[in-house]
Amino acid sequence: MNSATFSSTFLRTGCLRKDGVNNLKADTRNAGKVFVKCYVNTKTQKAEKEVRLGVLGASGYTGSEIVRLLANHPHFGITLMTADRKAGQSIGSVFPHLVSQDLPKMVAIKDADFSDVDAVFCCLPHGTTQEIIKGLPKSLKIVDLSADFRLRDISEYEEWYGQAHSAPELQKEVVYGLTEILREEIKGARVVANPGCYPTSVQLPLVPLIKANLIESKNIIIDSKSGVSGAGRGAKEANLYTEIAEGIYSYGVTRHRHVPEIEQGLSDAANSKVTVSFTPHLMPMSRGMQSTIYVELAAGVNFKDLNQQLKLSYEDEEFVVVMEEGAVPRTHNTRGSNFCFINVFPDRIPGRAIIISVIDNLVKGASGQALQNLNLMMGFPENTGLLYQPLFP
C-alpha cells in the first residue's frame, strides 16, 4: 500500500497531495461540518522532483533532520546519501522514524556519484568538510552545515580550530548564510556556510540593534543553553545520560569555537571590532536553545526602543517572531520548527536590557535554516518545506 488515508475536519475544503493534485471526498451530511478524506502519498517520489539533492553525512542529527524536512518539499528530492559508518544501510534502519521515506541506501563518501545531483547539503563533521567540498563538481549548489567555511579570515579559523584551512581559494566565494540578514547575497551564492546554532540565536536579535545604534557594542554578555543534540551523534563520554541528566554542564568556557563567528557578524553590523563574553551550557533535553543576552543601552534609549526596532526589522519575516511585551520566550515555543522567538526586558540595572532568544537548535539552528538557504539559492520561496508549526507539548 503506497498511500496513507487521513480523515480530518477542516473549516475550509482544501487538501493538497504532495504531488500537487487535489483529492477530496467531502461528506456534508452533518450540518456545519465538512469531513475531508485526504489521500497522501507517504513515499518520496524522487523522479517527480525538479531538484536532485545529495545529503552528505545523512546518519547524523542534522542529516536526518534534513531528510525529515525534505519529506514535505514539493521540489527537492534526495538522490544521494552518504554515511561512511552506515554505508549500505537504509535511512529507515538508522532512523526508524524515517522508515516511510523511499530513499536510496547510504554509501561511503568515496563511492558517491554526483552525476545525478544538482545541489548538496553537507552535514559532515568539522575539519573534514573543506577537502570534500573543494573536490565536488563546480556545477553543484552547496550548503555546508559544518563550521569549516563560516570564518572569512582563514588565520582565525586556524587559531580557533587548530588546523590550517585547506580550501582558502574556495573560502573567498563562500557566503555566510544568516538568511534574514544576508538574503540577497545568499540568492546568488554557489556555496553557503550555514551559521552555527548559537550564532543564529545571538545574531538575529543583536544585528538589527547594533545597526540601529540602539545598544553599545561593548560589554555584551551572552549566556546560552542547548539541548544535547547540539553536541552531535557521536559516542562521547560527556554526553552519556548519566553525565547529562539532572544537571547543567558549562563547556568551552572563554574559548568556544562559536565566539569568532558571533564576533564576525556583530563586527560587520557595527563596522568596528566587537568582542563579547560568551558561555554555552549543555542542558538535559534533546533539542532546543536559549540565549539570554545582557546589553548596555545607547544614550537616551530604553528597552521599548529595542523591542520596537526588532519588530520593525522583522515585521515581514515569517520565521522571526518578536513577542508582545512581558511574554517570555521558551524553548518549547519553537520545538521542531524553523522559528526564532525573541523578546526584550528591562534590566533592574539602569541603562541595561535583557534579550531572550529561543530556537530549535536542529532546525533554525541547523537543518531548517540550511533548507531556507537552498530554497533561496534555487529560486523557490524560502518557506517551502518549512511550514511545520512548533510541537507542543
DSSP string, 50-90: SEEEEEETTTSHHHHHHHHHHTT-SSEEEEEEE-GGGTT--
Give, for 268, the enclosing helix (H) or strand (E).
Answer: helix 259-270
Looking at residue 245, its pLDDT comes to 82
Same domain, 211 and 345: yes
Distance between CA atoms of residues 143 and 306, nearest Å = 32
Confidence check: pLDDT of 78 > 60: yes
Checking if the pLDDT of 44 tops 60, the result is no
Single out the residue of 68, 341, 318, 365 nearest to residue 194, CA to CA: 365
For residues 121-150, average pLDDT: 95
Residue 308 in this model has a pLDDT that exceeds 50:
yes
Phi–psi pair at 19, nearest 5 degrees: -90, 10
- d(C-alpha 64, C-alpha 81), whole Å: 10
d(CA 327, CA 258): 28
Same domain, 191 and 250: no
pLDDT of residue 8 exceeding 50: no
CA dihedral 159, 160, 162, 165 (to 10 degrees): -70
Average pLDDT on 187-215 reads 98
Q: What is the mean pLDDT of residues 252-265?
A: 95
Tell me what pLDDT residue 231 has: 65
Q: What is the mean pLDDT of the chain?
A: 88
Residue 387 in any domain: the answer is no
Check whether residue 47 and residue 154 sit in a common domain. yes
State how far the Cα of 117 lies from the Cα of 139, in Å rounded to an integer. 9
Contacts of 254 (CB under 8 A, 6+ apart): 279
The share of the chain scoring above pLDDT 70, in percent, equals: 86
DSSP letter assigned to residue 272: S
CB 60 within 8 A of CB 94: no
Question: Within this chain, do residues 146 and 269 fall inside the same structural domain, yes or no?
Answer: no
State residue 334's pLDDT score: 97
Q: Is the pLDDT of residue 3 over 70?
A: no
Domain encompassing residue 98: 3-195+365-377
Residue type, 317: E
pTM to 2 decimals?
0.87
- CB of 265 within 8 A of CB of 203? yes
Same domain, 345 and 371: no
Residue 383 lies in a domain: no
Tell me, what's the pLDDT at 49? Answer: 81
Same-domain check for residues 211 and 349: yes
Local confidence band at 126 (pLDDT 50, 70, 90 cut-offs): confident
Indicate the range of 18-32, 214-228, 245-259 predicted with least confidence.
18-32
- What pLDDT, on a 0 to 100 scale, did the predictor assign at position 13? 31
Mean pLDDT of 279-299: 96
Residues 284 and 354 both lie in one domain: yes
Based on the domain organization, do 221 and 164 belong to the same domain?
Answer: no
Band (234; pLDDT cuts 50, 70, 90): low
Contact 358, 201 (CB under 8 A): yes
385 within a domain of the structure (yes/no): no
Which CATH number goes with the domain that contains 16? 3.40.50.720
pLDDT of residue 19: 40
Is the model's pLDDT at 39 over the cut of 60? no
Are residues 215 and 277 both part of a single domain?
A: yes
Q: How confident is the model at residue 73 (pLDDT cuts 50, 70, 90)?
A: very high
Portion of the chain with pLDDT greater than 90, in percent: 79
Residue 391 lies in a domain: no
Residue 237 sits in the same domain as residue 257: yes
Which pLDDT score is estimated for 360?
A: 97
Asked if the peptide bond before residue 205 counts as cis, ω within 30 degrees of 0, the response is: no
Which residue is it, cell 536579535?
205
pLDDT, average across residues 104-119: 96
Give the residue numbers marked as catalytic: 197
Q: Is residue 384 assigned to a domain?
A: no
Is 388 inside a domain boundary? no
Residue 386 lies in a domain: no
CA distance 83 to 91: 10
Confidence of residue 233 (pLDDT cuts 50, 70, 90): low
